[in-house]
Amino acid sequence: MRSLRPYGAWIAVFLLSLGLAVPALAQGSLFDDSDERREPAPSLPQSFNGIIRPPSGEELPKQVDTLNDIVRAMQACWRPTGVRYSGQSVTIRISFKRNGEVLGKPMITHYREGEPDAANQEAFTQAVREALVRCSPMPFTDKLGAAVAGRPFTFRFVDSPATEKLQSL
């Protein structure tokens, strides 16, 4: 009986190695050295960022069909009346439903105080709140609404005008 034990161990090792080789054989040759790798298809970004500056007279578009249009629409909704340029900024994270309504509650992720003027700070934050109300529901096309529903958007509202022409997103 003792003489069969070493053979049993060898048989177990053989069967185990055969079991590990089967998945490799199913994918092609066991010793295939081709470097063919399959990359996943590109997806939409997990979040989208936009900088919103004091408006330049743009109107809210009738239909929002691209990501750039979302920033333009938010820009058109922001009307900071009574706000002096003081270096303030607030960053808001927000998500939309496919019909353009705000999903959940917008979250302030960062606030940078400008000059210590309480009235100006209150006017600035009130203007941001009103912009979010004014832009809801965002007039998404069906196609864009389906693509962006539930995805987080980060908008940074800055109370100073752009120093150079903004690049297209």
The verdict on residue 53 lying in a domain is yes
Res 81: pLDDT: 79
Q: Report the pLDDT value the prediction gives residue 100, as an integer from 0 to 100.
A: 92
Q: Is residue 100 part of a domain?
A: yes
Long-range contacts of 71-76 (CB under 8 A, 24+ apart): 71/155, 71/169, 73/135, 73/138, 73/139, 74/50, 74/131, 74/135, 74/155
Provide the number of structural domains found in the chain: 1
Sheet order of strands, 89-96 included: 48-52, 152-158, 89-96, 102-112
Q: Tell me what pLDDT residue 50 has.
A: 85
**In the chain, how long is the greatest CA-to-CA distance?**
97
The secondary structure of the chain as a DSSP string is: -GGGHHHHHHHHHHHHHHHHHHHHHHTS-TT------PPPPP---S-EEEEE-S--SPPPPS-B-SHHHHHHHHHHH---TT----S-EEEEEEEE-TTSPEEEEEEEEEEE--SS-HHHHHHHHHHHHHHHHHT-S--B-HHHHHHHTT-EEEEEEESS--SSPPPP-
Is residue 26 in a domain? no
Q: Specify the pLDDT at position 142.
A: 92
Is residue 34 one of the residues assigned to a domain? no
- Confirm whether 5 is domain-assigned: no
Residue 163 lies in a domain: no
- 18 located within any domain: no
In this prediction, residue 22 carries a pLDDT of: 52
Mode of pairing for the β-strands spanning 102-112 and 48-52: unpaired
pLDDT value of residue 40? 63
Task: Tell me the CA distances in angstroms from 123 to 50, 127, 130, 154, one per residue in order.
Answer: 21, 6, 10, 21
| Tens-digit pLDDT string for the chain (169 aa) | 555 556 666 666 665 565 555 555 555 554 555 555 666 655 555 667 888 887 767 777 789 998 889 988 998 888 887 777 888 889 999 999 999 999 999 999 988 887 778 888 888 888 899 999 988 899 999 999 998 999 999 999 998 765 555 444 4
Structural domain harbouring 150: 48-158
